[in-house]
Structure 1
Amino acid sequence: MTSIDVELRRLPPGLRPEVGQYWEAFAAAARAAGLEPPADGLLPRQLVPVWAGSEFVARACIGEPALLAELWTSGELARVQASGECRARLERQLAEVVDETQLGVLLRQFRRREMIRIAWRDLAGLASLAETLGDLTDLAEATVDAALERLHAWQSRRFGQPCDADGQAQRLVVLGMGKLGGRELNFSSDIDLIFTFPRQGQTDGARAVANEEFFRRLGQRLIKVLAEPTADGFVFRVDMRLRPFGDSGPLAISFAAFEDYYQNHGRDWERYAMIKARVIAGDREAGEHLLVELRPFVYRRYLDYGAFEALRGMKALIAQEVERKGMQRNIKLGPGGIREIEFIGQAFQLIYGGRDPMLRERGILAVLDHLAVSGRLPAAAVADLKQAYVFLRRVENRLQAWADRQTHDLPDNELAQLRLAHAMGQPDWEVFADELARHARAVSQQFAQVFGNAATDAGTHQEELAVVWGDEPGEEGALWILAEHGFEDPVLAWNRLRALKNGFSYRAMSPRGRERLDVLVPRVLAAAAAGPRPAATLERVFNLLEAVARRSVYLALLAEHPQALAQLVKLCAASSWIATHLTRYPLLLDDLLNPATLYAPLDRRQLVSELDQQLARVPAGDAEELLNALRYFKQGSVLRVAAADVSGAMPLMIVSDHLTEIAEVLLCKVLELAWTDLLLRFGPPECVVDGVKREARFAILAYGKLGGIELNYGSDLDLVFLHDSVGGHQVTAGPRQIDNTAFFAKLVQRIIHLLTTRTGAGDLYEVDTRLRPSGRAGLLVSSFEAFAEYQQRQAWTWEHQALARTRAVAGPAALTERFQAIRREVLGRERDPVTLRREVRDMRERMRAELDASTTETFDLKQGRGGIADIEFMVQYKILANAHRYPDLLTYTDNIRQTDGLERFGILSVADAARLRNAYRSLRRRIHLLKLQEQPARIPADEAREVRKGVSRIWRRLMESD
């Protein structure tokens, strides 16, 4: 029994007769051609399943037995095709071509040979899906480019070379669209092309024609040589309907006309189509420049949530067509099909691609991978979509490989069903159909998750409140409805509704924007009514809606994603500060889409990684986008902390820890960016110490709230800058040498610029440098030696108090250790306790006189008697008075752990330490909550009275008993 017989027996019974007949015909044809058909060995083991899956391959081999022998002996069926190999083979095929007729014949012969090779490897299980789609794409690209190259040369002999007004030669640019552009071409696909050329002009020959006419004729010839059916078939069917103005538009247009079309006439579906546009032939350099120019049309600078609405509309039209034509069995356009997977990925591309270059990939699998990595889609959902895509594309290729015919419909006769199931590795149609249905369900479910109809009504409450927005019941009826729905101040809510409806923002909106707001407002009313203080919440949300009214993409986000609107209302109800933060930076509304990440602040490692990823997306040399990226990172990171904070899941100290880490990560990155920028211009700062040259270094010290790890929302940064340049030859080593003092001055200026420059995304932090040596009169950056000298010999006691809360937060570890040594030496010296107490007390009294905003009715939590400043001064006094005996008191810079140390060494009693800690936490928490409501740090005078009295008693005992 031969290998052929064995392999035929392995086929399902229904497929054996057909493949057996192919083999008999092939054997006869081979012998007639003087070839011995290989009935044994590896070839028959591959041949049987391939012919069972492709009548096209079987008949091609029967018609030309030598072709199969050549493919087999060359090893091309066994190995992965190298980059450029397809084009090289084609060039050899076309080496002697002399005219258009011969070109058409040779291209068709080459295409048939390559399609046999590709289908064989696919059906024999020798190629992955990516290899199959890539080989098909390479074949199309090579044939188009090679044909264009020869047709251009032949046409130029007749008309001359096309040139622009400056005499520069012009060449056609061919854009591949759809699956060709995405390198995802299927087995029997049309190729979607667009023809364009750089500039108008005319040819330089004796029979001159305008460039547009030259390229129109060239395009027609290219389409004919590729797509005209002949005795040899065709190369590729060509579809030109994606060009500007479609079938009614010119076949080839200039770049200027091309850009003008998309700027003034481009529609949503054309943005969708341009995602995959790629230069596949002709003047590639010019074509790439054109695509860069068109990028703002495809990928908007700001997040474009209107894409959901546009793509949902496109999907609805497709669904209507599917229903009308009875195409439910269509694996491309039907429910859960290939197009739904593509729509999911491309919706995110259109929305986020302007900000995230990683989403500008043309291939859908790469896009899905990035959606998982970035967290925009759950990893499990992406895995399901990728598995479904691979399965469906393999089905698509097997449907088309059978007869080299473009089809996406599942077969309805039993033999064809059995053939497809076998080609997909399934024992029968039922098992295959179950697997197909599983993938289709997964795709449909995810499609519904992403594109679910946001216009679905939320119920009776929303309907009643929609009546109020529509002004149907009049004022009296509206007030009654608002009161019935829980608005504690219906008059305030009604007036705010009228102000929005009659205000400039609403009247100035586009019709689409008004439609979106009309959908949103009843939902906002219903959501606000379900929470505390609905009228106040409504005021905060409406302020935001008015702020983003001109950019209705944000209205689209909230209209498309009810969960985002729910989070917005919840956060605005909880905190006026968060509401203002979102109003100032509406880009953060995107963060509301995923509550799992919204309420989960990042730790330091995650912050560093997230910042690096965001900065990696910034185009090289784009200073404005760099500033924006830093600011978006900060605003988004702070929002996460605030959301977790108001949810009640995070203690105050942890909130401050997170806010402090955000600031430190940004300071380290800003220092890195500024340092790199100056190195490029001036080279590294160097100095010579004891005859040895070394690089001078730089560190940033944090005082105040940042130094004490007590940062709050909106806190500024108290910073001091130090360098360690000493000795001789203190100059930079770059092409433009400057002395190190100037280098570090420029470095600090650059750091402050990066931190404080205000853009559309706000600023990073306000920076206060007044705590540097000699204050405003001192240098902006000092050497370590000068800093140490100042602290030892000139600093006031209050400056040593400030030093007790100071840390190095950016710079090399060696400089951190050096600063810590200076700090220990300065703070650890022995002091006269009486003098020290008097100086600390006097400074506190001066501060109180100048800053205490307490009145008979209110208490200033920070500066009032018995408040936070009193606690801090007592702790700092005790640290300075005792650090010479207990150096470990200097380990920490935050007030709570410093108090712990004073208790541990017996300097404060257990009772006093506990009272001070509890008071400090309590008062800070009150300040924190007031900050979240954008209120000043003051409370009614009768509140926290016992806490203040306890602090004041300890103050009198420790600070007033000379």
Structure 2
Amino acid sequence: MRGGGAARLARYGLLRTDRAADLLTGVPLGLWEAGAVVDSPAEEILVALGGVGDPDLALLSLHRLATEDPAVLPALREGAGLRRRLLGVLGASSAFGDLIAARPQLWHELTDPGAYAHRPATGELVAGLLGAVGAKIADGPTTGTSGAHATVIGPAAVLALRNEYQRRLLCLAARDITGASSMDEVSAELADLADALLQAALSVAAATLPAGRPPARLAVVAMGKCGGLELNYVSDVDVLFVAEPADPDGDCEGALRTATTLASSMMRICQQAAWPVDAALRPEGKDGPLVRTLASHQAYYQKWARTWEFQALLKARPAAGDLALGGEWLGIVSPLVWKAADADGVVADVRAMRRRVVDHLPSAEAAKEIKLGPGGLRDIEFAVQLLQLVHGRTDPEIRSGNTLEALAKLRAGGYVGLADGTAMGEAYRFLRTVEHRLQLQRLRRTHRIPDDDDGVRWLARSLGIMGSAEKGPVEAFLAQWAQVARLVRQLHEKLFYRPLLEAVARVPSDAYRLSPEAARDRLGVLGFTDPAGALRHVEALTTGVSRTAAIQRTLLPAMLFTFADSPNPDAGLLAYRKVSELLGRTPWYLRLLRDSGPVAQRTAQLLGASRYVADLLSRDPEALQLLADDNELKPRSFETLLTSMTGAAARSVEPVAAVTAVRTLRRRELLRIACADVLRLLDVREVGQALSDVSDAVLAATLQAAIRGVTAERGEPLPARIAIIALGRLGGQEIGYSSDADVLFVHEPDEGVADADAARAAIAVAERVQRLLAARSVDPPLTVDAGLRPEGRQGPLSRSLASYEAYYRRWSSVWEAQALLRARVAAGDAEVGERLLWIADDLRYPVGGLDQAGVTEIRRLKARVNAERLPRGADPTTHTKLGRGGLGDIEWTIQLVQMQHARAVHDLRSTSTLDALQAAAEAGLIAHHCAADMITAWRLATRVRNALMLVRGRPSDQLPRYGPDLAGVAWVVDRETDDPQSFVDSYLRTTRRARRAVEDIFGA
């Protein structure tokens, strides 16, 4: 062939141009001469060929058909609809090409446009297949031994059924290929066609039943894809059989034998005519009897059935035979499905079954599998069925055997997000359409993408994916398939492994259906002290027909159990209602609770345990999004905090507005840390470090804002450099939620500036820092306390380096030296701050160690603090700060050791209590067991002190001996402790050991 003719044929999509030219030129087609189209109608046929899945295959099949029946060519020239339907089928399926070549008259079935306007009714299909075997429809459906019986039997009946089935299948394939029927309609019609063939085969089986058999009723129940009205072109048809005597008092054993003969014969006829009938989903599988009575089915499902069997029953429906008997069977087993879904382990069983399917699939196969592989059809089906098993116990609306219908109902009911449900439905339709095209090609059962490019190209074109200039059909299809598979896998893991599923599955289904009185009783049993109030909150959240109320009805049953496990269920539920009312109209809120990992359970735990968290969350409800990801609950680094807070402050010229922005950021960080603390994601040192980093960043940003404000008021640059020195717990980076910021302000005059001018400016800045952070606010306060400065509250708020040096060398007391043990630079000019610490070293780490007079003074001060500062009525055994073996005892002890030995032992020069204790033990200054006892007690007392703030929402140093606050603290500190009193006993034992160590060291 000349190059021009080949190129022109290639433009029609034909790849085998030499063969195409031979087929088009010769008899019987005659559409092509000397490299040109014969006439205009022939051009239209060639153009139509170019739009089918495999133009070369379609042309070859057309040539074979025209050889048998030349009348097809004029019909194709004249009928655009016929061209589209016939060539579309021939280009999509070599099997249909073979069939039409063998039975040329079949192409006439595609000429009537009216046959493609609608999906045929089920009755029409049944009538067609019954008519093929001569059954009288007027006699009614075959229900076992009664009803319509075929008059055509034996091989003739099988041939008649096969021919009618193939005729119907051809018409359906034509509507499918041309888009006249959607994927949903195609799958449903395939199931209807299967029902019709089952019914017709049963009529043939009844006609061949030997005379004298006991009469029987027989129902055929469709399972699997046929049961769900979502059948493939080529698939086993899963069924199970139910039988009863035709006469209620008749011979049951004889009726079962009759029904078994009918069922076996029906299965054989169907396999010979179209496809295998698989009854392996029946009770006991292939080892069980083929046919059972209603009572036998009921007994089996009540006693022996496993989770996968109940999952299979989700798709069961009466399909053929005695539909009334099938309805009775369904009425018996359906309630058992939802009762079984109440059992423990259902969620785990379904997940394990899905994992087994994936694990048993060879890795080389998984990459090409659209059904069983990751991101395939089974991922969608298992996710939908698991959601149905969990939520369908209480919501009959979502009980459907059809995957797409169930998904739509789950979406409408709020169990699946709108976007997720839509995306999963679209992905399912795409994958099922791919499956249909794969099976149409040779009418063989397959779910595997072809390995070769030619096979993928045919598949892509048969799906209407023709590609583009940048990407051919092969690349375009593979890219779309990969995108769909990724999406399906993501959604599968999101829905299938949603933590809320286990929680909901553990809620007894009767808990959803209680009367108001019974609901109040149930809430009381769960542990709500005000059941009526709790019920009001539940009703307020769940009443109505809105999507919000529907999702709350899904969430709350499981969350109530989590609230009940928390220390204060009533307060937690009330806080949840407040947050929900603040965020209920926010699109992401309920979606986050339902879909995003452990958010719902964490929310219930936090609100039921911590008033502090509840208060913060009520002011910043959008922070709930932090709970979705453990990484979001990790404290942010000091550098990150400093950048965000100084940046926020810099965006406002006015200092008050600047610090308001900083305090807002602090509130979010406090909530982040508190949530991680309650959820046991941080240990006590990490909490102290995180809180200290936040305070340092706040001080730095506030100092900058104060400097800008004072500078603006002065109208000239600040004449000094300023630093803030952290002391106390802030200096040790071990503050709690309620700790003040103990600080010193230090400045250094610029060159040539008088000390008095520099001091006035620095004091103005320090006062501004205190005032800005002390301003009334809904946010937790950060009190800047400079009471540990030289001369205390009588001294100037800020001093120069020279003034500090002069004071410390001449006037300082032992307690001031002790306070400097935890001094470090927190904010401001780092050089100025470090120079002050260098000055302080001689005072806090005295040459030769602390003399005896200093030791005596420290002991005297300690005794005075314990006597004067312990609140009236406080229990000294359980006061976390000033009690025996508490924080004060331990900190004064290690600080005494530091002042005695840190000059010589450099590792003791730490602002951290725990690091100093460890260093003292390693240096042999404290016995290891004493250090261990004090470290354990310090960690416990710090955790209790933090927990008191978290639980009560206000500061306290006193561990209660009984009551809800004690229960809350015990729950936050030691989740494993069921008895709050045993927690108190453990606290007392720990602090007694620490007290003995303190007396050994501090009293020596």
TM-score bin (small chain) = 0.3 to 0.5
- Normalising by the residue count of structure 2, what TM-score does the alignment of the two structures yield? 0.46
**Structure of larger gyration radius:** 2
